[in-house]
């Protein structure tokens, strides 16, 4: 195997990141606070452009954890969560001793199904426990059904925690993802559309909420000369070094979105001639996906081969592809919790595949990918 590895989604530096990191060294701001942290937060606030307040944290998972705390989630509460997602959406529910209630996907965006969501809320209320929050996820960058979910949130007065970890740069009706929930969450892990090597952010509607998140993320220190604590604190603040990488990455975010979307068009063209393969695409012009990952489903009856067969064909050519997120209600750690829906998420998982989608793939990479696909669907 002489060809170099093609990754599903790898870090893509823009060029100015090291300048910000060097500045941090030059001024000795080697700490989880400093000018890069403040600057990165400002950059994100002006990018999201909805009068939001952003707190930079050590990870997206930390942002979900603090987000649930800020929404008042306590031990014994129920929290609704999209089943088809990365486990980091749901794990913080367990950190708090709360109970996850999982919801199926709908077929258009693959995200939380409004019908199953409302059915679940009604059923939980009839059983005597009204859920305290809804975690909705813009999977692979595709906006969930924002209006339907918000209407249900309003009707039942249950706040939405918007997991926008995969959707920085996506929008719905010209409003950026990350700004729809009571609290929004971003991630800058190594494989996301921009990265700080590891990092995340909480998006708040008020300065008080942001300040509270930052307070909790820096060990909940009361205002006193000594270290005094009246609440449980966390060590979740973003480092000034990582934030420097983030500032450089913000300069190329729009170009990364453009390049990821070009990968999506590349796949749409390739598969347009193949009956039995669906590429996840915006359902209408109100939705704009950053297409963080390009994802397909393969109809095994029509094609005679499975998504797993294609994954193996890629692997043999040193190209990484990956099954979709295995739904949470099928995971050993979560399978004993309530679940509402049919089997949409399950069937997506069985038939789906995430394709190499990086903003840094070359013409040569694309040729290799195309060759595997052409050969696979010919034979």
Ligand X SMILES: *Cc1c(COP(=O)(O)O)cnc(C)c1O
The contact set with ligand X (CB under 6 A) reads 59-61, 85-86, 88-89, 137, 163, 165-166, 187, 189, 200
The nearest distance, CB 361 to ligand X, in angstroms, is 20
d(CA 217, CA 66): 8
Residue from 254, 253, 360, 376 nearest 311 by CA: 376
The smaller minimum CB distance to ligand X, of residues 66 and 279, is found at 66
Q: Closest distance between ligand X and the C-beta of residue 149, in Å?
A: 15
DSSP-derived letter for residue 6 is: B
Least distance (Å) between residue 66 CB and ligand X: 12
Structure tokens at 43: 């950059």
Handedness of CA 231, 235, 240, 242 (dihedral sign): negative
- Based on CB atoms, which residue is closest to ligand X, 198 or 233? 198
For the chain, give me the number of helices (H) and strands (E)?
Answer: 13, 14
Minimum gap (Å) between residue 310 Cβ and ligand X = 22
Would you say 198 or 276 has its CB closer to ligand X?
A: 198
Query: Which residue in 10, 66, 30 sits closest to 244, CA to CA?
Result: 30
| Least Cβ distance, residue 190 to ligand X (angstroms) | 9
The rounded distance, in Å, linking the Cα atoms of 105 and 343 is: 8
The residue (of 64 and 158) whose beta carbon lies closer to ligand X is 64
In terms of CB distance, is 83 or 372 closer to ligand X?
83
Nearest-approach distance from CB 312 to ligand X, in angstroms: 24
Beta carbon of residue 67, minimum distance to ligand X (angstroms, whole number)? 11
294 by DSSP, 3-state: which? strand
CA distance 297 to 348: 7
Of 89 and 99, the one with the shorter C-beta distance to ligand X is 89
Closer by beta carbon to ligand X, 86 or else 377 = 86
Helices (H), the chain: 17-26, 35-48, 60-70, 91-95, 114-126, 146-156, 207-217, 240-250, 253-272, 300-303, 307-316, 344-351, 363-378
Q: Which residues contact 287 (CB under 8 A, 6 or more apart)?
A: 109, 142, 143, 170, 172
- Cα(278)–Cα(297) distance, rounded to whole angstroms? 5
- The residue whose Cβ lies closest to ligand X is 60
Q: Which is nearer to ligand X, 303 or 344 (CB)?
A: 344
Q: Which of 362, 245, 357 is nearest to 10 (CA)?
A: 357
Cα–Cα distance measured from residue 359 to residue 186, given in angstroms and rounded to the nearest whole number: 19
Say if residues 238 and 58 touch (Cβ distance below 8 Å). yes
CB of 238 to ligand X, least distance (A): 11
- In angstroms, give the least distance from the CB of 173 to ligand X: 22
Minimum CB distance to ligand X smaller for 240 or for 377? 240
Instruction: Report the residue number, 91 or 175, with the smaller CB distance to ligand X.
Output: 91
- Cβ of residue 349: shortest distance to ligand X, in angstroms? 15
Among 32, 28, 30, 72, smallest CA distance to 234 is for: 32
> What is residue 322's three-state secondary structure?
strand
């Amino acid at each position: 195997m002489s060809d170099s590895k093609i990754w599903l989604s790898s870090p893509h530096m823009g060029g100015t990141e090291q300048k910000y990191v060097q500045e941090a060294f030059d001024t000795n701001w080697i700490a989880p606070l400093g000018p890069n942290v403040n600057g990165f937060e400002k950059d994100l606030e002006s990018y999201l452009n909805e009068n939001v307040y952003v707190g930079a944290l050590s990870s997206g998972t930390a942002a979900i954890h603090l987000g649930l705390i800020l929404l008042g989630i306590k031990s014994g509460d129920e929290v609704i969560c999209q089943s088809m997602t990365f486990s980091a959406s749901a794990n913080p529910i367990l950190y708090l001793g709360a109970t996850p209630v999982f919801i199926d996907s709908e077929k258009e965006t693959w995200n939380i199904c409004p019908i199953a969501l409302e059915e679940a809320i009604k059923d939980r209320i009839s059983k005597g426990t009204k859920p305290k929050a809804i975690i909705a996820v813009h999977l692979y960058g595709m906006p969930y059904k924002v209006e339907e979910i918000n209407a249900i949130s309003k009707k039942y007065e249950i706040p939405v925690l918007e997991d926008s970890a995969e959707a920085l740069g996506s929008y719905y009706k010209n409003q950026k993802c990350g700004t729809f929930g009571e609290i929004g969450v971003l991630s800058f892990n190594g494989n996301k559309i921009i990265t700080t090597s590891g990092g995340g952010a909480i998006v708040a509607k008020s300065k008080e909420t942001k300040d509270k998140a930052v307070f909790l993320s820096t060990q909940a220190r009361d205002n006193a000369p000594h270290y005094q604590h009246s609440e449980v604190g966390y060590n979740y603040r973003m480092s000034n070094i990582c934030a420097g990488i983030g500032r450089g990455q913000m300069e190329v975010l729009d170009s990364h979105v453009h390049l990821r979307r070009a990968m999506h068009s590349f796949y749409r063209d390739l598969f347009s001639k193949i009956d039995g393969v669906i590429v996840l695409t915006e359902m209408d012009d109100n939705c704009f996906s950053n297409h963080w990952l390009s994802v397909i489903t393969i109809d095994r009856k029509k094609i005679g081969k499975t998504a797993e067969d294609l994954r193996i064909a890629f692997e043999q050519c040193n190209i990484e592809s990956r099954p979709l997120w295995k739904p949470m209600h099928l995971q050993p750690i979560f399978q004993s919790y309530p679940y509402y829906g049919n089997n949409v998420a399950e069937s997506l998982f069985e038939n789906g595949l995430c394709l190499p989608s990086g903003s840094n793939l070359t013409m040569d990479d694309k040729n290799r990918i195309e060759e595997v696909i052409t050969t696979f669907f010919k034979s």
